[in-house]
Every structure is written in structure tokens, then in C-alpha cells.
Structure 1
Amino acid sequence: MPDAPRSALVTGITGQDGAFIAELLHEQGYRVHGLVRGEGNPRKAQTAAELPFVELLDADLTDPASLIRAVDAADPDEVYNLGAISQVGFSFKNPGLTADVTAKGVLNLLEAVRLTGRAERTRFYQASTSEMFGGLDYNRPEAGYNETSQFHPRSPYGVAKLYGHWIARNYRESYGMFVSCGILFNHESERRGKEFVTRKITDAVARISLGLQDHVELGDLWPKRDWGYAGDYVRGMWQTLQHSEPDDFVLASGEMHSIEDFLALAFKAVGIDDWHPYVVQNPAFMRPAEVNVVLGDPSKAEQVLGWRREVSFEGLVTRMVANDVALQRAQLTS
């Protein structure tokens, strides 16, 4: 008889990365299970329609019993923990919820794997983040942050993610579990929610180009980020769990671009050379503590995993704008 297909359990299945990893795993022949939180979750039907090959399981990262049931149902060879309160601005307004989901939720899921007797065979991917570094000038290496750089998170989200990162490493060292952490820098796509600044910009640019709105309100424009395409980074997640040993890997582009750079490329994609008349800065969108500059060093992932990004910064921006222009035109003609 042929070998049974591998099984994967994905938290955060309704988000950008969840959709990308589900498609990749399905293409690789996995049985894919995705956790959906909350009764009447509005994204459940959308996810079921977009990813019909995924078996959706009701569970919550803050509810250990539901996670144990989900792990038993999926019987996973691999777990991808992508679920989190993932918006930095939201975390300042809701720090307690962020801690419960983004920090303690990692512990709950690790315990669900361990307590169901799967510690020795289930590989676990923890989605860590560049927000753990903080971007302070004295703490920034010239070549970019790598796996050994000092952490100094500057938001409740970054602090919660750092707990998740360290508890994941603790379970690897304490129980011999195959737990790997991917320290991903900013990665965007046409699937990004409009609450994130990149998609907010590309959606607004599309609407402005079609005469549907006259400006977009943003916070600080000077911060620099290391941006890449989510599809490339999700491939790196999968490669991380295929490696022979559990480890931590930075996934980044190795390039920095400011929000102004993103704006300029987005407006250029619709034929507008000067973006300034269409952008209004609003203090309401400025964070209490901003991460100044973020640059990653992906050397280890490139050398050990053979990971490479395929979509450039300009390709990312133009791809997102083209998608949003097409969506807006479709709505106008529907």
C-alpha cells in the first residue's frame, strides 16, 4: 500500500500566511487542517471557499482543551503556528489580548502537541518576527539582524512574540521536540489585510487612480522596513521544517525601503509621479514607540536551507497595486 499523505495543522489559516502555506502544503500532497477561532467567524466561509481542500477545525489558541481536540483530530506530522494578534497598532490598544493569544497561545499549542504524545514525531514551526529586535540605533548591526542579534521589542506585539519565540526554544531544549522558529521580516502580498499599511496604500492608490477617493491618511512616512513577498517567505517556512535539525532562521530580503519609497512606487504603478498631493499625515496613525529601521540578514537561511526570494521590492509593490486596481474595476462593473 502507498504511504499515507503527511498531515499538517495550521493556525492562522484565515490570514495571509495561512492561505499561502495551505496552498503550498496541498501542492506537496499533505492533508491540511486549519484552525478557525470563534463562533460565526466571518472569515470561515471565505476560507472554505478559497481553500476547499482544507479541513477546518474549531479551536482557540487561548483554550487548551480545544487545541488538544484539534491536535488529536488532525494527527499532524507538522504544525505551523501562524495564529496571533498580528497588528502592531492594535497591540498597543489591546495588550492583554495580545499577550493571551500571541504569547500564551504558543505555550498552549506546544502543550497540546506534547500532552497528546506527539512530542517525538510532530515538527513544530513557530512564526517569530523581526519586531522582536526593535530597530534601535544602538542595537542594529550594519549587515542586518541575524539569529544571534539582541532582542529589544518596542510594542506589546513584539514582547508577546518574544515570549512565544523563547518558549518554543525552551520546548526544543527541554523536551527534545523538533521546534523551529522562523524570524520573518515584513512580508506582504495581495492577500494582506487592509488594516496593514502596505495594503492600505495599494488599495487607496487603486481607488485614487479610478477617481473613487482623493487622498489617503497615513502616520509616519520615514520608517524603513525590510519588505518581501509573502509567498517566498512561506516557502521558507516549509523548508525550515524539512531541514534535518530544528533551528532558528531569519527570512528577509536584506534590503531596506521607507514607507515613502513604497508610496512612490505604488503611485508610479498607476502613472502618478508625484504622490504628495494625495497623502495626508494623521497623528492618529502614529505609534507610541516606532521601530525606526529594520534590516534582516538572511545569510543562514540561504546557505543552510537554500532559500531564495524571487519577488523584488518593486515587483511586490506593483503586484499589489495591479491586484487592487483589478478588484476596484471589477466592483465598478458588477
Structure 2
Amino acid sequence: MTSTAFLTGITGQDGSYLAELLLEKGYEVHGLIRRSSSFNTGRLDDVYEDPHDPDRRLFLHYGDLSDGVSLINLLRDINPDEIYNLGAQSHVRVSFDQPVFTGDVTGIAAMRLLEAVRAAGVGSRIYQASSSEMFGATPPPQDELTPFYPRSPYGVAKLYAYWATRNYREAYGVFAVNGILFNHESPRRGETFVTRKVTRAVARIKAGMQKELYLGNLDAVRDWGYAPEYVEAMWRMLQHPEPEDFVIATNTAYTVRDFVELAFEHAGLDWREHVRYDPRYERPTEVDALIGDATKAKTLLGWEPSVRTPELARIMVDADIQLLDDELAGRLVRID
């Protein structure tokens, strides 16, 4: 019998990789997408299926995490075996500019989805995308027992969603888990996130299309992993016999400066000739160091990462160089 999954945030980095993984495992996948005046499904191009194909297994539904009624109706219709809540306003710096919006779509929306599951009467297993930003100022290494101390509206909103998930698990017996994922990147990362901002600039600088890259705090320490490996961990959490929360991380530490140096070096460039400081990119309250201990995930889920930051930087730089080459070649073809 085919398993069915419902994904919010399916058009994002994690959602697109997770959709691919689930389709490869034979799932029927349903994704929630917001109505927009422009196409926002580019990350799903590789798994696109003809909507007229009777054998298709990928279905996209218009909706929004702010609309609890539509969520209830969708869940009743789909009756999914698994739900992955990846939808959010996920940019930490932007959350300072839009704190109330972030609190709604990142925090309260998780409660809205949990309540929709309960109201719809479906027996779905639920994955909540929690974040290492919940640890904030608590010194590393951080694991499942580390106290939380969020330092941004985003971290606060994620903490609300974390405790909502635990509450529904304990109050109603819902199979609901929190995946406390540390930073995870890929060529599909949004262009405003620091890693992708760096690798995209490297490609443009190497091509002579850009001279300088402006960044904020270069001393922040992060534990960076590879997104396709992290969505595998999400799936494993919902296959575990009991609902538990898990930290997913590489237990390695690199500064933003380290990532910048690795990325520029891979392209044969000296980062010091191109990177400039801009205080506008500083956060009002900074998170100095996030380094995760994923021992529990290794022990209970059999999950462990293989891609570390140096390889990740190379993967992303190569992908952005290729992407830029393809874009330039396409323009030349159109001009000719």
C-alpha cells in the first residue's frame, strides 16, 4: 500500500529535497504552496509530473498556514500517513524586521497545523522543523538536553512551535516529533542566506561580473551540513517506533570567515581582495556559536552525516559557477 505524505514548505530547499526522497521511496506526495503572482516552484522542476498523468504521485495544493479551515479540509481529503511542517519565514536577520509576521507563520502556524490534524481526525505522524537557533546564547555543544536561549524573533517563534509539538504529543497522544536541525545548505539554498550569498558572489567575481561582496559578522561559528542528508534524517524520525526529538548536526565548527575562505579558495580567488564589512548585516543580538551533538540520532536512527563544511563549500561553488555559465550561455543563444 502506498504511503502518503503532506509537506508544507515544499517549494523551499528542504521541501524540494524531501519531496524527491519520498517519491524515490514510492510515496504519494502532496505539497502546500502559496498563491503568488510569479512561479515559485523552480526547485521542484526535477520532480515535476504532468498533472494529466493518471499515474502521477506529486500533487500541489494552493493554501496557506495562516488558513486553518483550508488546512482541516485538505487533511481530511488527503488523510496523509506523514506530515512534514517545513513552512516558515526562515531568515533570521529578516525576523528582526518582521517579528510579528515571523511569529505567526513560523510559530503560531505550527500550532494551527497541529490543531488542524486533531480537528480533521487524521492519524498522521507529524514532523516539526525545529532549529538550532532555539539554543541561541547557550554555549555549545548543544544536544537534546541543552537549555534554550533564543536570540531572535525567529528563534523565539521556533521555540513556540517546538513546545506546541511536545504539548500535542503529551496531551493528545499525537505522534509528533521535533527535528532540531543545525544549519544545512545546498545549491538550492536561498540567495539571501550567507552561504549561498558567498558562493553566488564567488561565481560572479570569477566571471568578472562582480568585484566586491559585503558581509556582516565573520566570526560567528556554525555547524554546517548538507541538506539532502538532513531530509533523510527527517524521514527516519517518523519511522522510529516512538515519537522523540532529535538534534541533527555534524558536530564540527567553522566560522563564516572559514566558509568564505574555503569558497573563494576553491575558485582560485583571494577572499581578502573582495570581501568588505557592512554593519547592516549584523543582527541586533548575535548567536556566537552553534555546534550540535547528534549522538542520539546516530544511536537510535542510524543517521550520521558524510558531507562536512569544506566539501559543502566546494559543492555549492561548483553549482553556482555552472548555473551562471548556463545562464550566460542561454542569453547568448537568445541574442543570436
Interval of TM-score (by shorter of Structure 1 and Structure 2):
over 0.9
1:22 maps to amino acid: A
- How far apart are 1:311 and its partner, in Å? 1.3
Q: Deviations over 1:82-111 (max 9, x none)?
A: 000000011000011001100110011111
Is the Cα–Cα contact under 8 Å of residues 128 and 179 in structure 2 kept in the other structure? yes
What's the counterpart of residue 110 of structure 1?
A: 114
CA change 1:50–1:222 in 2 (3 A) is: same
- How far apart are 1:40 and its partner, in Å? 3.4
Is the Cα–Cα contact under 8 Å of residues 219 and 282 in structure 1 kept in the other structure? yes
What's the counterpart of residue 312 of structure 1?
A: 308
Separation of aligned partners in 1, 2:37 and 2:170? 39
Match of 2:130 among 118, 128, 133: 128
- How far apart are 1:314 and its partner, in Å? 1.1
Is the Cα–Cα contact under 8 Å of residues 99 and 156 in structure 1 kept in the other structure? yes
What's the counterpart of residue 55 of structure 1?
A: 59
Q: Deviations over 1:257-298 (max 9, x none)?
A: 0001001110111112x3111001111111111100111000
What's the counterpart of residue 268 of structure 1?
A: 265
What's the counterpart of residue 175 of structure 1?
A: 172
What's the counterpart of residue 300 of structure 1?
A: 296
What's the counterpart of residue 101 of structure 2?
A: 97
Count of residues in Structure 1 that have an aligned counterpart in Structure 2: 322
SS in 2 for 1:292: coil
Over the aligned positions, Cα root-mean-square deviation in angstroms equals 1.1
Separation of aligned partners in 2, 1:177 and 1:111? 11
Where in structure 1 are there 5+ consecutive unaligned residues?
none
Matched, 1:236 2:233: yes
- How far apart are 1:73 and its partner, in Å? 2.7
SS in 2 for 1:127: strand
Match of 2:158 among 148, 161, 172: 161
Is the Cα–Cα contact under 8 Å of residues 85 and 101 in structure 1 kept in the other structure? yes
Separation of aligned partners in 1, 2:43 and 2:212? 31
Is the Cα–Cα contact under 8 Å of residues 224 and 294 in structure 1 kept in the other structure? yes
What's the counterpart of residue 28 of structure 1?
A: 25
- How far apart are 1:199 and its partner, in Å? 0.2
Q: Deviations over 1:52-98 (max 9, x none)?
A: 24200111111101111221232100000000000001100001100
Is the Cα–Cα contact under 8 Å of residues 58 and 66 in structure 1 kept in the other structure? no
CA change 1:204–1:78 in 2 (3 A) is: same
- How far apart are 1:333 and its partner, in Å? 1.6
Matched, 1:79 2:65: no
What's the counterpart of residue 285 of structure 1?
A: 281
Where in structure 2 are there 5+ consecutive unaligned residues?
50-57, 331-336
What's the counterpart of residue 193 of structure 1?
A: 190
- How far apart are 1:39 and its partner, in Å? 4.3
Separation of aligned partners in 1, 2:30 and 2:44? 11
- How far apart are 1:41 and its partner, in Å? 5.1
1:122 maps to amino acid: S
1:94 maps to amino acid: Q
Separation of aligned partners in 2, 1:140 and 1:41? 42
1:80 maps to amino acid: Y
SS in 1 for 2:40: helix
Separation of aligned partners in 2, 1:318 and 1:93? 32
Structure 1 stretches (4+) deviating beyond 2 angstroms?
38-42, 46-51
Is the Cα–Cα contact under 8 Å of residues 125 and 175 in structure 2 kept in the other structure? yes
2:6 maps to amino acid: L
1:98 maps to amino acid: T
Separation of aligned partners in 2, 1:62 and 1:160? 15
Matched, 1:140 2:139: yes
SS in 2 for 1:314: helix
Is the Cα–Cα contact under 8 Å of residues 107 and 167 in structure 1 kept in the other structure? yes
What's the counterpart of residue 54 of structure 2?
A: none
Is the Cα–Cα contact under 8 Å of residues 249 and 293 in structure 2 kept in the other structure? yes
SS in 2 for 1:110: helix
Give the TM-score normalised by the residue count of structure 1.
Answer: 0.94
